[in-house]
């Protein structure tokens, strides 16, 4: 998703070496509730989720939901107790196993159930949770989590779920942790007659129920993260097209509000098709051909719901009509169509195991905006765009968050993350190799959950370069490295990096003013700048592609 933006003034980087000693990971206090939510304890790792069936009814007038969720799982060890998750404001009616109710206890938003006998390692089993209640209502979706209850422009009910970060257990019971994605899911949403539900995957069946409700059954054939599972309820229109992609014919289904149908027909297909063309080129085939691609109009700005991208950008270019880069390039395409769909590759296909590594989702997807621009307007345009987003970087805290407590790092994961990846591409200095790395990531980690090391090690291995210190500096520390120049006692121009990371030696492009850029590889001790004619007065650093501080003593 895209976070709420606050325009800030980019403060000049301090040149003082003492500044580095003062900056580091912010100290935070976490609670038992945070650990229950974020930690993969033995009560969670003991079972691998294979299949969910959500069967949920929305009483819109009373902002009330009720229903049940079937958990099918494989035991990864012997156990007789496990944890699932459901927000405490929602009532567990009962948990049923083999026709009998299981005893359970609750602690914060965690629920613990005990089985009558040991579940044997390797066995496949299931249980069903029945629940009800008034779910948390999102006040500013998608920036906070919950359910949106509102009306469309002609007065029809309009409901949507959006729960990234907060977690899917805000509206349905599940094993609420990114590390274990369910293999497939059936999403059955019952809504008052006259309304429709649009969820992930493919529509299997519509059933008119006797109580004045209609049930929509959507099946997801691919692994999916809990927070991606969605319900979107309203009076919808629909049209479809076919995209001839790398894996064959991809169905494209568009679900605007019925009142916006004609507007959507004129607007959506162009950038949706351009997005697929660009991202299949850069990242490889769309990862969910079996489930198709959908755009769904929602009352919130947008969310990367797998195979059903939520869209609320009001059919206009830019981010609600604004160019986030200030370069003009951001007004040539619909931001939400491109950005949120980019998450199909980074976020949905490749998912971070821990919320602390959300930079894997947001840094790459922010950078995908630049690559989209490059595909249609050229490399210089794409680089101008990513460079232009720097004024949104705050350098407030590390991008990688603390692990095991369901906590994101800095929102700099977006714009600083995008600038970091553009720098890595510049360092590798081989555009075809870079493209193969991006495609290779999506092939190697296809439908998988990953760690920081998985991604960084892969890029290092495929590039043939040790880029770990670069990722470490930009992702684990909030301040920028500073490239410092000074003359030695003999008047020779020397340089070094000031950084938090020991042994930081990022290659950087420099030149004598008016000349061609050359790569040098400074360390953390002063070394000669071996470029003919270079002086403190004429040395230039490629600060267009490198997001660094520069100090000339």
User: Structural domains in the chain?
Assistant: 42-234 (2.60.40.1730), 236-478 (1.10.390.10), 482-552 (no CATH)
C-alpha to C-alpha distances, 20 to 28, 303, 327, 496, nearest whole angstrom: 20, 37, 32, 15
> Strand pairing partners for 248?
245
* Contact between residue 36 and residue 177 where contact means Cβ atoms under 8 Å apart: no
For residues 353 and 443, give the distance between their C-alpha atoms in angstroms, rounded to a whole number: 17
pLDDT by residue for the chain (553 residues), tens only, comes to: 765 443 333 333 433 333 443 334 456 899 999 999 999 999 999 999 999 999 999 999 999 999 999 999 999 999 999 999 999 999 999 999 999 999 999 999 999 999 999 999 999 999 999 999 999 999 899 999 999 999 999 999 999 999 999 999 999 999 999 999 999 999 999 999 999 999 999 999 999 999 999 999 999 999 999 999 999 999 999 999 999 999 999 999 999 999 999 999 999 999 999 999 999 999 999 999 999 999 999 999 999 999 999 999 999 999 999 999 999 999 999 999 999 999 999 999 999 999 999 999 999 999 999 999 999 999 999 999 999 999 999 999 999 999 999 999 999 999 999 999 999 999 999 999 999 999 999 999 999 999 999 999 999 999 999 999 999 999 999 999 999 999 999 999 999 999 999 999 999 999 999 999 999 999 999 999 999 999 999 999 999 999 999 999 8
Q: Closest Cα to residue 316, out of 331, 295, 303?
A: 331
For residues 258 and 297, give the distance between their C-alpha atoms in angstroms, rounded to a whole number: 10
The order of strands in the sheet holding 518-520 is: 518-520, 508-512, 539-541
Per-residue pLDDT at 2: 60
For residues 382 and 460, give the distance between their C-alpha atoms in angstroms, rounded to a whole number: 24
In this prediction the pTM is 0.95
CA atoms 509, 469, 482, 325: torsion sign: positive
Per-residue pLDDT at 1: 75
For residues 131 and 87, give the distance between their C-alpha atoms in angstroms, rounded to a whole number: 11
Which long-range contacts (C-beta less than 8 Å, at least 24 apart) are formed by 316-320?
A: 319/2, 319/5
* Contact between residue 308 and residue 343 where contact means Cβ atoms under 8 Å apart: no
Q: Which residues of 259-297 are buried (b: 16+ CB within 10 A; e: fewer)?
A: bbbeebeebbbebbebbbebbbbbbbbbbbbebbbbbbb
Per-residue pLDDT at 27: 62
Per-residue pLDDT at 3: 55
For residues 15 and 551, give the distance between their C-alpha atoms in angstroms, rounded to a whole number: 7
């Amino acid at each position: 998703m895209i976070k709420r933006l606050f325009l800030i003034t980019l403060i000049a980087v301090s040149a003082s070496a003492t500044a580095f000693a003062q900056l580091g990971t912010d100290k935070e206090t976490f609670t038992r509730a945070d650990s229950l939510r974020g930690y993969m304890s033995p009560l969670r790792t003991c079972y691998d989720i294979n299949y969910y069936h959500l069967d949920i009814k929305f009483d819109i007038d009373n902002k009330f939901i009720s229903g049940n969720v079937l958990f099918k799982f494989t035991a990864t060890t012997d156990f007789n107790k496990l944890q699932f998750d459901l927000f405490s404001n929602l009532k567990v009616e009962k948990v049923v196993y083999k026709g009998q109710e299981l005893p359970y206890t609750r602690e914060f938003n965690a629920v613990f159930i005990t089985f009558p006998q040991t579940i044997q390692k390797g066995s496949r089993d299931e249980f069903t949770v029945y629940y009800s209640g008034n779910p948390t209502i999102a006040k500013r979706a998608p920036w906070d989590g919950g359910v949106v209850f509102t009306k469309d422009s002609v007065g029809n009910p309009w409901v949507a779920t959006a729960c990234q970060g907060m977690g899917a257990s805000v509206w349905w019971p599940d094993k609420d942790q990114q590390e274990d994605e369910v293999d497939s899911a059936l999403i059955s949403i019952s809504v008052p007659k006259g309304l429709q539900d649009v969820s992930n995957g493919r529509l299997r069946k519509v059933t008119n129920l006797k109580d004045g409700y209609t049930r929509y059954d959507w099946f997801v054939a691919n692994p999916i993260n809990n927070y991606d599972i969605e319900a979107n309820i309203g009076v919808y229109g629909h049209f479809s097209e076919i995209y001839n992609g790398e894996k064959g014919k991809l169905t494209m289904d568009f679900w605007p509000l019925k009142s916006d149908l004609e507007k959507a027909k004129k607007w959506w297909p162009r950038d949706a098709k351009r997005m697929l063309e660009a991202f299949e080129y850069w990242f490889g085939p769309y990862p969910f051909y079996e489930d198709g691609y959908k755009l769904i109009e929602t009352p919130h700005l947008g969310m990367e719901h797998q195979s059903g991208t939520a869209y609320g950008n009001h059919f206009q270019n830019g981010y609600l009509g604004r160019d986030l880069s200030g370069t003009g390039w951001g007004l040539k395409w619909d931001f939400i169509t491109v950005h949120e769909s980019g998450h199909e590759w980074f976020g949905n296909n490749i998912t971070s195991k821990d919320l602390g590594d959300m930079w894997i989702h947001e840094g790459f997807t922010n950078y995908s905006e630049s690559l989209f621009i490059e595909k249609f307007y050229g490399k210089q345009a794409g680089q101008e765009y990513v460079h232009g987003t720097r004024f949104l970087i705050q350098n407030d805290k590390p991008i990688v968050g603390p692990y095991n407590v369901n906590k994101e790092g800095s929102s700099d994961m977006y714009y600083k993350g995008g600038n970091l990846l553009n720098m890595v591409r510049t360092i590798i200095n081989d555009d075809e190799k870079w493209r193969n790395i991006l495609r290779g990531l999506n092939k190697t980690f296809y439908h998988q959950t990953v760690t920081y090391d998985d991604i960084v090690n892969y890029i290092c291995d495929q590039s043939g370069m040790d880029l770990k210190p670069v990722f470490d500096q930009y992702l684990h520390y909030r301040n920028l490295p500073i490239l410092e120049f000074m003359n030695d006692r003999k008047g020779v121009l020397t340089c070094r990096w000031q950084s938090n990371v020991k042994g930081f030696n990022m290659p950087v492009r420099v030149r004598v003013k008016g000349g061609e850029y050359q790569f040098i590889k400074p360390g953390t001790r002063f070394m000669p700048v071996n470029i003919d004619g270079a002086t403190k007065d004429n040395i230039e650093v490629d600060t267009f592609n490198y997001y660094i501080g520069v100090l000339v003593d």
